[in-house]
Amino acid sequence: MDDIVIEGLSWRYKDSDWILKDINLTIEQGKTLGIVGPTGAGKTTLCLALCGLIPKKTWGAIEGSVKIKSMDTRKTPFEELIPHIGIVFENPDEQLIEPSVEDEIIFPLENFGFPPEEIAKRLEEALKATGLDKIRKKHPGELSGGQKQRLAIACALARQPPILIFDETTTDLDPVGKSEVFSLLAQLRATKKLTMIIVEHNTAQLAQFADELIFLRNGNIIRRGSPSQFFCDVAFLKENGVYPPQVSEVFSEISCTYPNSLDKNQLPVTLNDAIQLLHEILDLEEISYNSVEIKDQLPSTSEVIIKAQDVRFTYPDGTQALNGIDLELRKGEFVAIIGNNGSGKTTLINHFVGLLKPTEGDLEVFGMNTKDVSVENIAQKTALVYQNPDHQLFCQTVFEECAYELKYSQSGRFSNEEIEQRVSEVLDVMNLTRLRNEQPFGMGRGLRQQLAVATALVKQPEIIIVDEPTTGQDASQAHSIMRILTEFNKKGKTIVVITHDMNLVSNYIPRSIVLNQGKIIIDSNTRDVYSHSEILKKASLTRPQVTELGNLLPHAPVILRIEELKDILSLKYDVKEAIAYDR
Ligand SMILES: Nc1ncnc2c1ncn2[C@@H]1O[C@H](COP(=O)(O)OP(=O)(O)OP(=O)(O)O)[C@@H](O)[C@H]1O
Ligand SMILES: [Mg+2]
């Protein structure tokens, strides 16, 4: 039986061009459809149409039809559709309204009229699956970014509607948390035959989980297929802003070295497939490498600009978020802060800018103890981009947003010409010039995040701190933000990035600090950190596919990037250059 049938669907918002164009799609009951595509392709709009919010609750014009369980969404009252469908968006803040985690999950179940025993059972299952059982009494507003996303997911899981839509719902989850949510979804799919639609930039996760994938661009479906068909055309995907699973890319790149044993149209898409194939095509013991010396080139002599000494922090509700942090950051460093959801990352960087002050211990920024100086004083040299861009954008236009800080907080320091010049430059660097006069609130989350980064860069601060810069970005935008931050770093600026994207860390960030339960459990160069898989596991972090594959090669160094593994597997033994720690 088909759960969803879309025929000739086109849609435009009230004042927009056509966002969806003649979409035809059928999703069978119990199947999972993955949707990928660049930002602005129409993925969220398609999700809204799939659950009836378009056209029922949105202004615009529609052509064609969407049928959910044979009900035409144009003709059926929304209240009749709702029991059949659950949707979780990326930004959970808008969905969370109850006074506690528990209530947030229970309330919709009561509304749907489930009996109390059933509600109690589902509550426990959902809390356990999302790791929220220990903080069930907490106020949703006082959760960490990832915990909020977990709660929104828990609410959907507890309801178990026959059709479940996740629109970039797991972006802020730590990697292990993300895998756990997907395992639970797989279980539900097997036992309850749930139909799922998943919009996701993490293609490795999709490759494991989806039955079928579609590629959406400019409102059209331009590719469609099973994961193994879909991810074979690596060049096409990358040209269109989608990064295939790393294993597909590596094997695509080395296929000419093994013309007899590797078929470019049958590339591995999961780590397990890749491991099997690797054993088939190569005698791993036979591969040799130059012994590789990894140089640690972290700037160790420059001035210390942030120094934490036994910093502890307790929130008013009693949560001990930092439990004795000692660290030094030097001028010109590029540092990743990674770790479990709720491990204290955001709390820590709020200390770096003086927004939070240690309950115990001391934190110095540029030699100033943050307890003795005002936030404004510190803000002249530091810029923080929040995990949720909505917490910092409030102006009427993109230009005003960027100019605000220069005009008002540092009033009188810059002439109008200088402001114009600085803002124009940054908009250009961030590729936002075309949106100069747009309203920030009308833009998608990914663009708002980019704008938030722009407002930080325009200040030309000494330290730029970005909390989850890649949320809502497609892969090529995420890489482009990291390249921009790298450029600033090369100019001597200090960059601190919090992210759950372990591939980005390994590609761009030389030093990694891992937090777990408010403590640093390892702080070293990234290659060294990635060699400690047990420590990473404790922090719910997983290593990139290429690192795991590289780990199978006897005596090989820790592999961080696709090119490194590609060089080894294409039997180029001069890998020393590629692998030497190069920053
Ligand atoms: N305003 C608040 N009031 C009370 N507790 C809070 C508040 N903000 C965060 N916490 C708690 O403090 C701990 C650390 O939260 P923090 O936001 O620093 O984590 P994080 O590492 O940034 O997590 P994520 O990866 O989910 O963003 C968590 O247990 C969280 O629930
Ligand atoms: Mg956080």
Nearest CA to ligand 1 atom 17: 144
200: its two tokens: 């996701």
Ligand 1 and 315: CB distance under 6 A: yes
Residue with tokens 């993955």: 34
Burial of 117 (C-beta count, 10 Å sphere; 0-12/13-18/19+)? exposed
β-pairing, 163-167 vs 85-88, is parallel
pLDDT at 576: 41
Q: What is the dihedral of CA 265, 266, 269, 270, to 10 degrees?
A: -170
Count of alpha carbons within 13 angstroms of residue 214, beta-carbon side: 23
pLDDT at 410: 65
Read off the amino acid at residue 474: D
Probe ligand 1: pick from 101, 143, 323, max atoms within 8 Å of CB?
143
Q: Evaluate whether 33 touches 212 at the Cβ level (below 8 Å).
A: yes
pLDDT at 482: 94
- Tell me, in angstroms, the distance from the centre of ligand 1 to residue 503's CA: 24
**Distance separating alpha carbons of residues 269 and 289, to the nearest angstrom:** 26
- Tell me, in angstroms, the distance from the centre of ligand 2 to residue 235's CA: 34
Residue-wise pLDDT for 285-325, tens only, equals 777 665 444 454 555 678 999 999 999 999 999 999 999 99
pLDDT at 198: 96
Nearest to 146 by CA among 173, 166, 168, 169: 173
Neighbour count for residue 73 (Cβ, 10 Å): 24
Nearest to 45 by CA among 4, 15, 69, 9: 9
**Distance separating alpha carbons of residues 31 and 194, to the nearest angstrom:** 7
Q: Evaluate whether 580 touches 290 at the Cβ level (below 8 Å).
A: no
227: its two tokens: 């994961």
Helix (H) or strand (E) holding 27: strand 18-28
- Tell me, in angstroms, the distance from the centre of ligand 2 to residue 517's CA: 13
Read off the amino acid at residue 401: E
Q: Evaluate whether 386 touches 360 at the Cβ level (below 8 Å).
A: no
Nearest atom in ligand 1 to 347's CA: 18
pLDDT at 579: 42
β-pairing, 220-225 vs 212-217, is antiparallel
Helix (H) or strand (E) holding 12: strand 2-13
First CA to last CA across the chain, in angstroms? 56
Burial of 337 (C-beta count, 10 Å sphere; 0-12/13-18/19+)? buried
Ligand 1 and 347: CB distance under 6 A: yes
Ligand 1 and 343: CB distance under 6 A: yes
Low-confidence ranges of the chain (pLDDT < 70): 288-300, 410-411, 571-583
Q: Evaluate whether 301 touches 476 at the Cβ level (below 8 Å).
A: no
Probe ligand 1: pick from 313, 347, 499, max atoms within 8 Å of CB?
347
- What is residue 304's three-state secondary structure? strand
Ligand 1 and 145: CB distance under 6 A: yes
346: its two tokens: 């955001």
Q: Evaluate whether 275 touches 552 at the Cβ level (below 8 Å).
A: yes
Nearest atom in ligand 1 to 319's CA: 5
Nearest CA to ligand 1 atom 28: 342
Q: Evaluate whether 2 touches 12 at the Cβ level (below 8 Å).
A: no
- Tell me, in angstroms, the distance from the centre of ligand 2 to residue 293's CA: 35
Residue with tokens 């507003």: 141
Nearest atom in ligand 1 to 315's CA: 4
- Tell me, in angstroms, the distance from the centre of ligand 1 to residue 320's CA: 9
Nearest to 538 by CA among 179, 181, 145, 175: 175
- Tell me, in angstroms, the distance from the centre of ligand 1 to residue 387's CA: 12
Ligand 1 and 314: CB distance under 6 A: no
Helices 101-111, 116-129: inter-axial angle, 10-degree rounding = 140
- Tell me, in angstroms, the distance from the centre of ligand 2 to residue 389's CA: 12
Nearest to 271 by CA among 250, 292, 253, 256: 250
Nearest atom in ligand 1 to 348's CA: 18
**Distance separating alpha carbons of residues 423 and 400, to the nearest angstrom:** 9
